[in-house]
Structure 1
Amino acid sequence: MAVRKNQATLTATEKRNFVNAVLALKKNGRYDEFVRTHNEFIMSDSDSGDRVGHRSPSFLPWHRRFLLQFEQELQRIDSSVTLPYWDWTADRTTTASIFGADFLGGTGRSRDSQVTTGPFAYSTGQWNINVSVDSRPFLQRELGAGVRALPTRAEVDSVLAMATYDMAPWNSSSNGFRNNLEGWRGVNLHNRVHVWIGGQMASGVSPNDPVFWLHHCFIDKLWADWQRLHPTSTYLPAAGTANVVDLNDTMRPWNNVTPADMLDHTKFYTYDS
């Protein structure tokens, strides 16, 4: 059983293996397919129309499947690799270990936000941005520029305390755990982190930045934590809802995956705590 670990506890070898697998996936072209898929869904998901990956109850199971597929692709390259998570309530500065030169690299330079440190710097020749919202071919970050502070543990706990998964109108104006975690209401958890990183992370092509996977891995862990805290609460809506993926509906782009299939993450992996 794969165990997903806190990035702050990774050994030098584990960091290197993860980075090398990501670079190999970029080289063979598969990485950019994930970027395209995410961008297509974030552009098509809307509050008043069909919504699958964002602004909807299926935000969490959709991304759980998306991360699992990405992790499996990494494991085709190196079977030892699992997705690490970034606990931004604890490692919350621009100099945290996740942004070290030996891992994901740091913030971008002032004049154009280009990341110049670490293995994903443009100068390495290994990380060109091919699926882009502008013409710049390099990874961009502006850590802390778009919003001053990352979410706190107290803010996370306030969202984990919400006992109802989701509720009508099942979009970005809904109350409930999912939408408060996604960040359209309340203290804003997931969305705020994207904006804090800046650069491509603040756009539909956010997976261009490898930090995307560690951020969403923590979001997935928080969903797992919520499930443990509220064992009698489950995914909603159950059935009969227009424009939304119900419990047993198929989630595009997969042909045979439903939210119900993704409720138990322990079928695929566990977390270290």
Structure 2
Amino acid sequence: MHLLRSIIFVVLLPTILYAQIFNCNFSPPELRATCFQFQQFDINARRNIMLRNTQSQPTFFAPGVPDNNQLSPAVPQQSFNPSPYDCMDMRCLCPYFRGRMGPGGNCVLPLGGTLNRATRKEIRMMSDSERNRLFKAIQQLKNSGEYDRLSDMHRQVGIASGAHSGPSFLPWHREFLKRVEIAIRMVDPSLALPYWDSVLDSYLPDPRDSILWTPLFAGSTDPFGNVINGPFAEFHTLEGRPNINRRLGSEGHLFTERSLNDIFAQTSIERILAYTAPQQGCPYPANFGALEYAHASVHLWVGGDMKPPVTAANDPIFYFHHSFVDLIFEQWRQTHQNRWAREREFPPDIPQCSNSEHFAHALMRPFNILNINGLSNAYTDHMYSYAQRPTCTMQYDCGSLYLFCSRHNGVPHCVSKIRSNGQCVGYENEDACYQGICIDGFCRPGAFETTTTAAPQNATPSAQPASSGFISTLGGLIKRNGGQTVPIPTRNTWNSGAGNGNCFNDDPCCSLWASANECPHNIAYMSRYCKRSCGYCRNNMQNRKGCFDRHISCNYWRSQGECSRRRQWMAENCQLSCGWCHITKHQLCTNVARMSRM
């Protein structure tokens, strides 16, 4: 009977899913394809949720305590596998950099310098040295396989989860970017994930001629769209292709100052964490001005790998673009919400408006947090901040060799420099061409004679206010470029592969059970919760004896109260920090098993 119900359910599933969807034919023509895409993501997610609900969940039983089979520990809710990517402050992150917490709460690195909150800059505002170190770090992550592992996270949830087509789009990508930035900083702690302000390119006669699409930055393409030079040339894709692909300007459009102002004009959280794939009966109308829609148009404009979510993260420009999306999101939060509201305001859970993967307290797959946790102030309190978007005045330039200040319309604003032979119509009297001059509407070799003062590179004079027509600096979070010089910390290298140190048991009884031959006899439990003892992975302290800490962050976890909250895992992996020494392995197993049942 159960099988028959499942067959009937699968047969009727398409009818159920398509019966109530919004008709995208009524959407603006330029957004119609995106509307259908968001709808399909929502349909996929609802299908997966329904299928999961019809499947029985596996049941796990822990073996009994040796010599006392009447007592067995509680089964952990889930396997705990902490990594630097889970961190939300420098105290948590510091041990992974082999640092130590010094006076004033600073993380002091082994060979000097401190690990500070990252400052995300517009990529053209980075110094040449800083930008080249960033590209080398990304290349190192690519060569180690960590870049692909992170990108595959996005691919796995790209078309059927809470990552797209609904309210958790922005929180999900905020958490994802935090993890990518940590990976970059594990290679070079002085770095941060930059943002790509595509408004700077939107002013150009042809944004494809931006300096961004040259070997100095993201690289240029051959006639088939393959990226053939620059720092990301020969980046093999997750699908096995030898090059990243782009189709610049074939469809879609970049962010504009007007589109940003439209977003900042919104006053309710439902217009920001928007329902972008509502069904019939949703009390909130389709919001085609939502940030998720605007961001998707930039994906379409870049094209190639960036067009479908399942391949978008192949291209590092994906991360720079989403860093700017997160900046927009944070500026809206700082403008329209107080500190309390920023962490608590989430659109209501309405099944007709979004699938349950987007509900506030749904698990943010594949991360071990809830969607609403992605609104935490801790991200920008402790992990990163944003440098101001590039600005200029009638007297001062943008502070970058790769931007120029356009003043011909009376409102000074920064614009991307144009590559050699690129179109510069309308900018004949401005310093628009990189290492060139605008002649007859095209950038040709030459030297432009400027009459304005060049601001120091990576700095904007603090005495000069931002132009009223453009977004200004936000106090506290959005920091002005420049300021005190921070010593560059010593670089580090790191590999998160489970084959090294990231291999733990979840219970102090695991080694005793393994000795009693439970690994082959209770595979369901042992393969999930006793990976190290059963040999599913290896730890760099695999055979060490005595009372010690297996995890590098045990002191931090103890300070967070985890010795009590996560007693089984801590007893196995943080025995020294939790003070559970001077007892036998069997006594520790028995005592923790009893306490887990209380």
TM-score by length of 2: 0.40
Q: Which residue of 2 aligns with 1:101?
A: 215
Tell me, yes or no, if structure 1 residue 272 matches structure 2 residue 378. no
1:270 positional shift: 0.6
Out of 5, 18, 23, the residue aligned to residue 139 of structure 2 is 23
1:240 positional shift: 7.6
1:22 positional shift: 0.5
Question: Is the contact made by 2:270 and 2:346 (CA closer than 8 Å) also made in structure 1?
Answer: yes
Question: Is the contact made by 1:86 and 1:217 (CA closer than 8 Å) also made in structure 2?
Answer: yes
Out of 113, 116, 137, the residue aligned to residue 228 of structure 2 is 116
Task: Give per-residue Cα distances to partners, 1:207-238, cap 9 Å, x unaligned.
Answer: 11110011000000000011012115654235
SS across alignment from 1:170: coil
Q: Which residue of 1 aligns with 2:358?
A: 245
Out of 171, 176, 189, the residue aligned to residue 79 of structure 1 is 189
Q: Stretches of 4+ moved more than 4 A in 1? A: 174-179, 238-242
SS across alignment from 2:209: coil
Q: Which residue of 2 aligns with 1:49?
A: none
Q: Which residue of 2 aligns with 1:230?
A: 336
Q: Which residue of 2 aligns with 1:197?
A: 302
Question: Is the contact made by 2:167 and 2:358 (CA closer than 8 Å) also made in structure 1?
Answer: yes
Higher Rg? 2
Partner Cα separation in structure 2 for residue 239 and residue 139 of structure 1: 38
1:61 positional shift: 0.6
Partner Cα separation in structure 1 for residue 233 and residue 198 of structure 2: 22
Question: Is the contact made by 2:166 and 2:274 (CA closer than 8 Å) also made in structure 1?
Answer: no
AA of the residue aligned to 1:67: L
Task: Give per-residue Cα distances to partners, 1:135-183, cap 9 Å, x unaligned.
Answer: 6321111111123x42310111111211112279934246588971000
AA of the residue aligned to 1:136: R
Tell me, yes or no, if structure 1 residue 35 matches structure 2 residue 35. no
Distance 1:154 1:240, change over 3 A: closer
Partner Cα separation in structure 2 for residue 180 and residue 33 of structure 1: 30
Question: Is the contact made by 2:263 and 2:289 (CA closer than 8 Å) also made in structure 1?
Answer: no
Question: Is the contact made by 1:115 and 1:121 (CA closer than 8 Å) also made in structure 2?
Answer: yes
AA of the residue aligned to 1:31: Y
Query: Where do residues 172-187 of structure 1 align in structure 2 (5 Å cutoff)?
Result: 172-173=277-278, 180-183=290-293
Question: Is the contact made by 1:3 and 1:271 (CA closer than 8 Å) also made in structure 2?
Answer: yes
Distance 1:84 1:243, change over 3 A: same
Distance 1:36 1:238, change over 3 A: same
Q: Which residue of 1 aligns with 2:318?
A: 212
Question: Is the contact made by 1:89 and 1:151 (CA closer than 8 Å) also made in structure 2?
Answer: yes
Q: Which residue of 1 aligns with 2:248?
A: 143
Distance 1:251 1:138, change over 3 A: same
Task: Give per-residue Cα distances to partners, 1:219-267, cap 9 Å, x unaligned.
Answer: 0000001101211565423568661433344311111354234332322
Question: Is the contact made by 1:160 and 1:177 (CA closer than 8 Å) also made in structure 2?
Answer: no
Partner Cα separation in structure 2 for residue 157 and residue 176 of structure 1: 19
SS across alignment from 2:385: strand
SS across alignment from 2:119: strand
Q: Which residue of 1 aligns with 2:32?
A: none
Gaps of 5+ in 2: 1-116, 279-283, 389-598
Q: Which residue of 2 aligns with 1:262?
A: 375
AA of the residue aligned to 2:326: D
Out of 145, 165, 170, the residue aligned to residue 269 of structure 2 is 165
Partner Cα separation in structure 1 for residue 287 and residue 329 of structure 2: 9
SS across alignment from 1:3: strand
Distance 1:248 1:179, change over 3 A: farther
SS across alignment from 2:218: coil
AA of the residue aligned to 1:228: Q
Distance 1:179 1:252, change over 3 A: farther
SS across alignment from 1:166: helix
Gaps of 5+ in 1: 46-51, 184-188
AA of the residue aligned to 1:72: I
RMSD: 2.4
Question: Is the contact made by 2:349 and 2:356 (CA closer than 8 Å) also made in structure 1?
Answer: no
SS across alignment from 1:44: coil
Question: Is the contact made by 2:172 and 2:374 (CA closer than 8 Å) also made in structure 1?
Answer: no
SS across alignment from 1:53: coil
AA of the residue aligned to 2:118: A
1:104 positional shift: 1.4
SS across alignment from 1:34: helix
Higher relative CO (Cα under 8 Å, sequence separation at least 6) belongs to 1
AA of the residue aligned to 1:43: I
Question: Is the contact made by 1:103 and 1:118 (CA closer than 8 Å) also made in structure 2?
Answer: yes
